[in-house]
Amino acid sequence: MSKTIIISNRLPVKIAKENEEYYLKMSEGGLATGLGSIYKEGENIWIGWAGLDVPKNDEQEITDKLMQENLFPVFLSPKEIQNYYEGFSNETLWPIFHYMSTYAQYEQEYWDYYRLVNEKFKNIVLKIAKPGDIIWIHDYQLLLLPQMIREELPNTTIGFFQHIPFPSYELFRLIPWRVELLTGMLGADLIGFHTYDDVRHFTSSATRVLPIQTTANIIHKDDRNITIDAFPMGIDAKKFNDLTFSKEVLHEKEIYNQIIGETKIILSIDRLDYSKGIIQRLLAFDKVLEENPQYIEKIAMHMIVVPSRDTIPQYRDLRDDIDKLVGNINSRYRTAAWHPIHYFYRSFPIETPSSLYSRADICLVTPMRDGMNLVSKEYIASKTDETGVLILSEMAGASKELIEALIVNPNNLGEMYRAIVEALEMPEEEKISRMKNLRETVMKFDINHWVKIFMNQLEEVKEGEKSRMAKYVNQDLKFQFKEAIKASAKRVFFIDYDGTLVNFNGNPLEAKPDEELYQIINDLNKDERNQIVIISGRKYETLSEWFGHLPIDLIAEHGAWKKYDGEDWQEEPNLSDKWKQGVRHMLESYSDRTAGSFIEEKRFSLAWHYRKVEKGLGELRANELISNMRYLTREKGLQLLPGNKVVEIKNAEINKGKAAASYIYGKDFDFIM
């Protein structure tokens, strides 16, 4: 029976050792909750790092405990964690993906360990995976893993989801190992992101860095179709909704009310990170107090910063800057009975943020960049009284869904200041109206919905790929071909040139046949039952130069010219080229403003090539050209033929299909291919 294998950097569990014995504590995170419905069923399993350095002698004990929970550990050494996780994942990928490129470190040792650890994950997957299994890989620490698995298990269903933003091409191209990272991700059948912006950025980077083609949100690579799509992640909304009624949360909330009374609370909860915009929101709060003295003793900010990576210089500096700014604001505005900012640099059990969510009048969520940001959704799910105002950064993925929030640019201090004032002064009816709509969204599109739509889409993508591959030559069809060829007495093979006999080339004249190709044609010709016909859009002069010495037939320029073995070229009658002057003028205008493009002139056609043009720009110009040429070609009885990095205009009377039909007319071939 097939199973689902979930793979992430860390397992959804915390492992602790007390009195020489290891204990497991299941994570309360949204991902663990959402995927719990999958990995806890049947033989399904979750693979990930155990989260601590485990002595070799204890590995089996931990493995046995984890296997009871359908979890399988990857054990990593301190050096692997230092270079793969702290190094490449968090000092190379994290800053680039969050548009903080000045913090990025490009250390070769980081990369070497990143690749090594991804291989370590792969080796464990290979021990567990069986034919028919579904594999779902999570996040930026394992970008190489999909392709590593694909190379070993080519028919396996693989999904990949990235939980952080994907940067624009201009940022992503800075990474020295960009080719390897993209190739790794494209080993998946389905690649998911939180937002359509991330989908666009990934597709743009992939098409610019790799020699691949796209159709809408599908990437074509190595005879495979990879679907790229947006799946906005939800939270365990019911849990946060129900928590507000728990005894612990109600008790904490009562204590807050006794201490702060009618003071309006502005809440800020974040992990320590330069991408979270903590400094900017403190400056905005400072401006509110400075310009609105009527709010003194009437409002307060409760700020929780969860410690993270504070051994890294940038994070340590950020913590110091926060400490100084909080101290500065408190020292300037505090009174004997009131502190403007209540600042906590530590983590709390889930009941504490739940009580703060429930009590807070305003929640400030203003990251500089964030894949989704689940704090905003946790706040909404906790507002069971349907009051409160969410101020949300437009740079957070959640802003695409939570449109009733006050959306701000975190770089615009004035805009954040005005949003805080607007939230403080907002009428109750408007608050309730906004929050009611926000809660409907969060409660409906929760973590379970996210898991369901991703897994359903992965299944659909794989079924579609199986259906598509069934149209290719399979073993049964190969056998039928062989039997038909054996039984035939007179065969004709129509063979295209570019993309069939040779790969596409930026310079068409450089795509010349080599000795191996000539040998293949000669081998086919040795059988007297075979008739070889090269049929191409190439000029007849070019085909004559390359293949005129061979005992085969040639069809050039899509059928405008024919040459039978031992005879001269024959021109298709009643064709005109008088139309070319007007069309050439338009093509020249596109070449003049598109560096790298050029025009190829044939006897009865014109072709505009853009293979050497910057990716993206070439496609843009080609689509524009096709749109502008449609009326002209229809009026003049011409055919517009988009091809691989080329747009060709030719007489409508000629095409390869007609040429092939004309060639076989009156001949008694019993095998045509």
Q: In whole angstroms, give the CA distance from residue 442 to residue 448.
A: 11
What is the length of the chain?
673
Token pair listed for 461: 């993508």
* Residues whose CB is less than 8 angstroms from the CB of residue 499 and which lie 6 or more positions away in sequence, other chains included: 644
Residue 514: exposed, middle, or buried by beta-carbon count in 10 A (0-12, 13-18, 19+)?
exposed
Q: Which helix (H) or strand (E) holds 642?
A: strand 638-643
- Distances from the Cα of 565 to the Cαs of 520, 538, 658, in angstroms? 18, 18, 20
CB 309 within 8 A of CB 271: no
- The answer to whether 107 and 89 have CB atoms below 8 angstroms apart is no
321 close to 281: Cβ distance less than 8 angstroms:
no
Count of Cβ atoms closer than 10 Å to residue 90 Cβ:
21
> What crossing angle do the helices spanning 178-185 and 196-209 adopt, rounded to 10°?
120
- Helix/strand/coil percentages in the chain, nearest 5: 45, 20, 35
| d(C-alpha 549, C-alpha 539), whole Å | 16
Euclidean distance between CA atoms 307 and 528, whole angstroms: 79
| Cβ within 8 Å of residue 498, ≥6 positions away | 504, 505, 508, 511, 536, 537, 538, 644
Spatial contact of 369 and 355, defined as CB atoms under 8 Å apart: no
- The answer to whether residues 62 and 48 touch, using CB atoms and an 8 Å cutoff, is no
Structure tokens at 606: 């014109």
Q: Contact, 368 vs 98, CB < 8 A?
A: yes
DSSP for 58-96? Answer: GHHHHHHHHHTTTEEEE---HHHIIIIIIIIIIIIIHHH
496 included as an active-site residue: yes
CA atoms 432, 433, 439, 442: torsion sign: negative
* Residue among 496, 523, 527, 670 flagged as catalytic: 496
Q: What are phi and psi of 560, to 5 degrees?
A: -70, -25
Q: Which tokens go with 64?
A: 């046995």
> Could you tell me the two tokens for 551?
């005992």
Q: How many other C-beta atoms are found inside a 10 Å radius of the C-beta of residue 174?
A: 14
Distance separating alpha carbons of residues 654 and 673, to the nearest angstrom? 20
Per-residue DSSP letter, 387: -
Q: Report the alpha-carbon distance of residue 265 to residue 284 in Å, rounded.
A: 15
Separate counts of helices (H) and strands (E) for the chain: 24, 27
**E strand or H helix at 319:** helix 313-333
CA 376 to chain centre: 23
Going from the C-alpha of 64 to that of each of 18, 72, 142, the distances in angstroms are: 17, 9, 25
For residues 240 and 358, what is the distance between their CA atoms, to the nearest angstrom? 10
The SS3 assignment for 340 reads: coil
Q: Which two tokens stand for residue 543?
A: 């085909």
The pairing of beta strand 389-393 with beta strand 362-365:
parallel
Active site residues: 496
